[in-house]
Amino acid sequence: MSTRTVIGSYLSPYVRKLLAVMNLKGLDYRIDPIAGFFGSDAFSELSPLRRIPVLIDDQLTLCDSTVICEYLDERYPQPALLPSSAADRARARWLEEYADTRMGEVFIWQLFYQRAIGPRIFGQTTDEAALQRALEVEIPQVLDYLERQLPAEGFLFGASLMLADIAIAVHFRNAAFLRWQVDAALWPRCAAYVDRVLAQDCLARLRPYEEHMLRVPVTEQRAALAAFGAPLSEETWGGQTPRRGLMKI
């Protein structure tokens, strides 16, 4: 059994990013599929910002999806997650940063949080004005930028899927949970690119677990995944009462 443990929900785009990288590299793992909001006191000791994912690899514990993916790429260099030239590597890092921050702010905190997390986890009323601004202003701005950056065919740096591709595409999977998708008439390059990336095996293999989790309440998801045969960790860092993290992004 793998000694690598990933802490974090299959429904998180940042956990999805990490798991896709591990699938791409053929690395096995166990998972404690908790939402960061439901982490216990012990989880706070592992993740001081109460964010997911967390990777425990033997005696090493790491937080932040980018840090973890860089560690895995250095330790298991094939297939490479970054292109070979210095200029392309810099561009790849920027696009991953844009995905983690700007896209995370818009797709997760302004869309997914308003429609799903806030009402279902914290009993909050959706801020309709913020939601409409996200749908009508913020998301179109992101898509306009991506439409200029993304390739008409293949992936960002040629024929090989890399970390920046994964980092961008994972946010659109969360949007799809809410039945939102890119308007191909307005952003044809972006729509086709997202479909190509999400269809890759390393991401497609995660879909059954995601869809299984969506069918049950948060507090029942671990048991449902166990019955479904997910590679669960023996220990959980989850709790029963939701608590907010220290930072949004």
Residue carrying structure tokens 């009462």: 241
For residue 5, what is the enclosing H or E element? strand 4-7
Q: In what helix (H) or strand (E) does residue 142 lie, and over which residues does it extend?
A: helix 139-149
CATH of 86-200, one of 1.20.960.40, 1.20.1050.10, 3.30.2000.10, 2.40.420.20: 1.20.1050.10
pLDDT at 249 over 60: no
Extents of the domains making up the chain:
4-80+203-228, 86-200
Round the average pLDDT of the chain to a whole number and report it.
94
Pick 119 or 135 by higher pLDDT: 135
Domain 4-80+203-228 part of CATH 3.40.50.740: no
Q: Supply the pTM of this predicted model.
A: 0.94
Report whether 209 contacts 225 (CB < 8 A). Answer: yes
User: pLDDT band for position 38 (50/70/90)?
Assistant: confident
Tokens of residue 20, six digits: 């896709």
Q: Is the dihedral of CA 100, 171, 75, 235 positive or negative?
A: positive
Q: Using CA atoms, how far apart are residues 164 and 43, in angstroms rounded to an integer? A: 28
pLDDT in tens, 186-230: 999 999 999 999 999 999 999 999 999 999 988 899 999 999 999
* Cα-trace Rg, the chain: 17
